[in-house]
Amino acid sequence: MHHSLFVKRDHDFTQKSAIAQEILAYLAEHPSAQDTLEGIVHWWLMERKIKYNHMLVAEALDELIERGLILEKKTQGSKQASVRLNSARRAEITAFLKKRQVDPKKGISGEVVP
């Protein structure tokens, strides 16, 4: 029988599987890494989440630029562009945001959050 130092709980299998994949991905990128539960949560998983969120933010910005809701400004000598609100579309943006306000008991899509 395998004894774990960590408390076993009955969490959603999909969530556990996703976390397990993140841990393995981190170890594949850093094969000599080792850490405690707290270190893994704080450093390994947070680092991967930040990378993932960076990608999602970039994709969201691309979508907003394509829709013309924000404007992209490329600065000479800089590798990265900056973005700002497209003032000409302010009324449309305000209407969109009012429709998408988040209810604390519901997600953005309107689904009930447990």
Determine how β-strand 70-73 pairs with β-strand 82-85. antiparallel
CA–CA separation, 16 vs 35, rounded Å?
A: 19
Predicted confidence (pLDDT) per residue in 44-81, tens digit = 888 878 877 888 888 889 999 999 999 999 888 888 88
Half-sphere exposure of 59 (CA within 13 A, CB side): 6
Residues ≥6 apart with Cβ < 8 Å to 55:
none
Domain boundaries, the chain: 13-66
Half-sphere exposure of 2 (CA within 13 A, CB side): 4
Compute the mean pLDDT over every residue in the chain, rounded to the nearest whole number: 78
CA–CA separation, 43 vs 12, rounded Å?
A: 23
